[in-house]
A and B are shown apart, each in its own frame.
Chain A
């Protein structure tokens, strides 16, 4: 639940999603759901010459199960808040 809420707060930010097939897609975070499926808008593949497979795709849905990393804007990360939240979750409260 923690990361679901966390990603919801990032909606509207520019992120890069790296997939487990090495494809990296950059775009504006449109929405997230409980499975951490991600919808991006105004997408572009990071290395378009190597991966022209999505040249005509501007909006996409990425299945949560294939996400390896999400690269966030530095200003979107509040480390103190995450510390507190993860500790609270670890204590079971």
Chain B
């Protein structure tokens, strides 16, 4: 089947990955495989908290194991730029409980 929800269309684009332990990692998708293992370039983590705005922590080149991935989102760059990360307050996402 050709129309499966592969990640081909997101290669070389900015994506936001939510992991099973509730972390949010943003970077450029460089590669992936059947098991949703993912290679992210120029990545950073966005840390949400209720006390202060979103912290961005530089991670660089990352490989995330598919087992540990919940959601891969395509970042809308205009929308993303229009967000004021310093004003966002939220609890960190809960970990996935299987």
Contacts and interface: CB of A to CB of B under 8 A. Distances in A.
Contacts of B24: 53
Contacts, number: 100
A47 to B, nearest CB: 10
Interface string B59-98: 0000000110111111111011001000010110111111
A30 B4 CA distance: 9
A59 B98 contact: no
Size class of the B contact interface (CB-based, 8 Å):
35 or more
Contact of A52 (B16, B22, B90, B97): B90
A44 to B, nearest CB: 12
A38 B83 CA distance: 27
A54 B73 contact: yes
Contacts of B6: 33
Contacts of B22: 21
A89 B39 CA distance: 39
B18 to A, nearest CB: 7
Size class of the A contact interface (CB-based, 8 Å):
20 to 34
A62 B71 contact: yes
A80 interface: no
A56 B46 CA distance: 13
Nearest to B74: A59
A57 B4 contact: no
Nearest to A67: B70
Given A54-B73, A61-B72, A63-B71, A21 B96 contact: yes
8 cross-chain pairs, A with B, having the tightest CB-CB distances, nearest first = A57-B73, A39-B5, A56-B80, A33-B4, A60-B73, A56-B79, A31-B5, A61-B72
Interface of A: 19-23, 25, 30-34, 37-39, 43, 50-63, 65-66
Given A21-B95, A21-B96, A23-B93, 4 more contacts: A21-B97, A56-B77, A60-B73, A61-B10
